[in-house]
């Protein structure tokens, strides 16, 4: 069996090498030809197992696209984007926002880059890497706290793409609230008939594009967008990763001997963790839910995102036991963990049911953090099995195990390297 694993690891390295560009890794050649924020973070987590220097450069290249205000954008267009939609012209972001020449999108993604940088540092022990990235990571976490939080505790996003789980049924309510009008554009992501049925609908995309154009119209003024945008959501996954980002930042500062900064970011992690525990728990569903700040109502949807606060050490004893009960619905599949288990499930459509390697990786670590080791082992076993049977697909059908979406997908290859390492780091330090 180890021979099969070794062969698959060799193929994983090959996928990452073929998707490597000048200092970064594209998610896939099929649909995603640039650098994506949290994709690069997950790539670095696994790439450090095969090529530590490339993993460090992956993180540093992403941070090279950081805006002057601290935001790390969702997409960095390091190469020609002709024919891609929405490209840099659609976003309308001047390159001088980054202090360099790269153009970017106008939104961010969950702050996975911070724990990923901590992970790379753990694996390499490279203090020069740690010291080089710490200022940018601090500025990113500070940007979340000052630009994307109403209370200094929970943070919000203003576009479904910024959640990483853009097609989740959780966003149906906020998106239904506004009429995008006549939005003209040409979709590049549905030209392949095999992908078309798996991607978000035109109804969804009309609203995605309208939100982009609203941001461009006000030159991405965060204050105005907070007041005027119809989509302002405290996303539970983003907040869970924000806690882990603050923890990781604290840990790295402590390693660097800066106790003042270590204490500050540890306190921030505690504040956001407590807010998730006290304000975003849905007892009927038995998990945590996102919150629509425009309508001031919970988005009570049974998504895998609602389990991920375990990664941040959020649950109290009662919530922990309720989560144990809730897990049964997510584990009642031949292959786990589905991204959604509610009435709008579609096992072949993006975030409406398929299994994703990145959320499985986050969940497995969260399960171990709260002591659910048996469930964690199941998640790891199924994640490895899916790749070994179907290849490095973008996502997988939880009932049949069939690989779906793009093939030779980078984070699936990278996380396989971490899943099957001889000494996987499965439990956060806390």
Which secondary structure element, helix H or strand E, spans residue 248, and what is its range?
helix 236-255
**pLDDT for residue 423:** 74
Please choose, from the candidates 119, 358, 144, the residue with its C-alpha nearest in 3D space to the C-alpha of residue 235. Answer: 144
Which residue matches tokens 């959604």? 340
> What pLDDT sits at residue 1?
45
Respond yes or no on whether the N-terminal peptide bond of residue 357 is cis (omega within 30° of 0): no
Paired tokens of 145: 């706290």
Longest dimension (CA), the chain: 57
Told to judge if 82 belongs to the known catalytic residues of this protein, a careful annotator would answer: no
What pLDDT, on a 0 to 100 scale, did the predictor assign at position 430?
A: 60
Q: How many CB atoms sit inside 10 A of residue 126's CB?
A: 14
Of the candidates 338, 288, 326, 336, the residue with the CA atom closest to the CA atom of residue 310: 288
- Residue 318 exposed, middle or buried by CB count within 10 Å (0-12, 13-18, 19+): exposed
3-state secondary structure at position 216? helix
- Tell me how far apart the alpha carbons of residues 209 and 205 are, in angstroms, rounded to a whole number: 6
Let me know if domain 2-419 sits in CATH 3.30.9.10.
no
Check if the beta carbon of residue 275 is closer than 8 Å to that of residue 254: no
From the list 197, 278, 279, 273, the residue with the least C-alpha distance to 239 is 273
Strands 290-292, 287-288: pairing kind: unpaired
pLDDT at 83: 83
Q: Which residues pair with 338 in a beta bridge?
A: 355
Of residues 166, 228, 270, 388, which has the active-site annotation?
Answer: 166
Q: What is the mean pLDDT of each run of 10 residues along the chain (430 residues)?
A: 81 98 95 95 98 98 97 96 90 91 96 98 97 98 98 98 96 95 82 70 94 97 96 98 98 98 98 98 98 98 98 98 97 97 92 97 98 97 97 97 95 97 65
> Is residue 309 within 8 Å of residue 240, measured between CB atoms?
yes
Strand partners, 130: none
Which residue shows structure tokens 């009927």? 284
Strand, helix or coil for residue 254? helix
Would you state the pLDDT for residue 192?
Answer: 61
Map tokens 């890794």 to a residue.
Answer: 25
For residue 76, the surrounding DSSP H or E stretch is strand 75-77
Indicate the pairing of strand 297-299 with strand 395-396.
unpaired
Report the pLDDT value the prediction gives residue 256, as an integer from 0 to 100: 98
């Amino acid at each position: 069996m180890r021979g099969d694993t070794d062969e698959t690891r060799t193929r994983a390295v090959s996928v990452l090498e073929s998707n490597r560009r000048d200092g970064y890794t594209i998610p896939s050649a099929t649909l995603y030809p640039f650098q994506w924020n949290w994709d690069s973070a997950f790539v670095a987590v696994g790439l450090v197992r095969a090529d530590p220097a490339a993993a460090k450069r992956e993180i540093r290249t992403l941070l090279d696209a950081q805006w002057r205000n601290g935001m790390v954008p969702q997409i960095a267009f390091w190469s020609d984007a002709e024919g891609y939609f929405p490209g840099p012209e659609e976003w309308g972001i001047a390159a001088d926002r980054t202090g360099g020449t790269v153009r970017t999108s106008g939104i961010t993604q969950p702050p996975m880059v911070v724990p990923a940088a901590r992970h790379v540092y753990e694996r390499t022990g490279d203090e020069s890497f740690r010291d080089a990235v710490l200022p940018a990571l601090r500025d990113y976490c500070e940007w979340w706290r000052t630009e994307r939080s109403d209370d200094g505790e929970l943070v919000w996003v203003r576009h479904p793409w910024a959640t990483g789980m853009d097609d989740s049924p959780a966003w149906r309510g906020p998106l239904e609230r506004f009429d995008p009008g006549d939005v003209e554009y040409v979709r590049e992501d549905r030209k392949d008939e095999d992908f078309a049925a798996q991607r978000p609908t035109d109804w969804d995309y009309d609203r995605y594009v309208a939100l982009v154009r609203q941001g461009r119209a006000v030159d991405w003024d965060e204050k105005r967008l907070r007041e005027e945008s119809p989509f302002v959501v405290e996303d539970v996954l983003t907040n869970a990763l924000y806690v882990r980002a603050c923890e990781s930042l604290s840990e790295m500062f402590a390693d660097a001997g800066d106790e003042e900064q270590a204490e500050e970011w540890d306190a921030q992690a505690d504040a956001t963790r407590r807010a998730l525990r006290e304000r975003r728990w849905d007892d009927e569903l038995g998990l945590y839910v996102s919150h629509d700040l425009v309508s001031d109502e919970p988005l009570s949807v049974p998504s895998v995102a609602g389990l991920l606060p375990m990664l941040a050490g959020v649950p109290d004893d009662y919530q922990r036991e309720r989560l144990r009960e809730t897990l049964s619905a997510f584990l009642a599949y031949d292959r786990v963990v589905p991204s959604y288990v509610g009435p709008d499930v579609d096992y072949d459509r993006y975030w409406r049911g398929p299994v994703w390697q990145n959320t499985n990786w986050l969940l497995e670590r969260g399960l171990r953090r709260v002591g659910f080791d048996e469930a964690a082992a199941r998640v790891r076993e199924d994640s490895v099995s899916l790749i070994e049977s179907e290849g490095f697909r973008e996502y997988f059908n939880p009932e049949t195990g069939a690989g779906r979406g793009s093939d030779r997908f980078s984070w699936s290859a990278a996380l396989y390297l971490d899943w099957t390492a001889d000494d996987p780091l499965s439990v956060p330090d806390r």
